[in-house]
Amino acid sequence: MRKIEHLGIAVKNMEASAKLYEALLGKPSYKSEMVESEGVNTMFFKVGESKIELLEATNPESPIAKFIEKRGEGIHHIAYDVEDIYKEIERLKNAGFEMIHNSPKNGADNKLIAFLHPKSSGGVLVELCQERN
């Protein structure tokens, strides 16, 4: 893993949170994107080399809606940038980690992504992401 690519933050209301993060970071978001397959609306802010990804549920069955129900708004996942996501998935599985996605899928922000199960990563939801070329 090369760096923290972004932190994912679950929010109830994107419009309100967009204003909050614009004020907090002192700059506007550079990208918004709906990922219908995941039931999320996303909004990205750059902070140096890393990013903040705001996540809002698009329906009540969305994993984000369920997360907020259980734990409220806040940090949802840590995403690590990897050079080769296929190799990294194999490496982690061999090391005993449980993957939610055994093969990468298309995520927001032009990325291939895969999530680890938080049960095997100390209660923290971990996302691997690799830039799609």
**Residue numbers at the binding site for Zn ion (CB under 5 A):** 8, 53, 79, 127
In angstroms, give the least distance from the CB of 84 to Zn ion: 18
CA atoms of 70 and 17, how far apart (whole Å): 19
Q: For the chain, what's the residue count? A: 133
> Does an H or E element contain 23, and which?
helix 14-25
CB-nearer residue toward Zn ion: 53 or 88: 53
In angstroms, give the least distance from the CB of 105 to Zn ion: 12
CA atoms of 59 and 97, how far apart (whole Å): 30
CB-nearer residue toward Zn ion: 88 or 127: 127
CB-nearer residue toward Zn ion: 53 or 56: 53
Please give the residue whose beta carbon sits closest to Zn ion in the complex. Answer: 8
Put residue 74 in one of left, alpha, beta given phi > 0 → left and psi -120 to 50 → alpha: left
In angstroms, give the least distance from the CB of 115 to Zn ion: 9
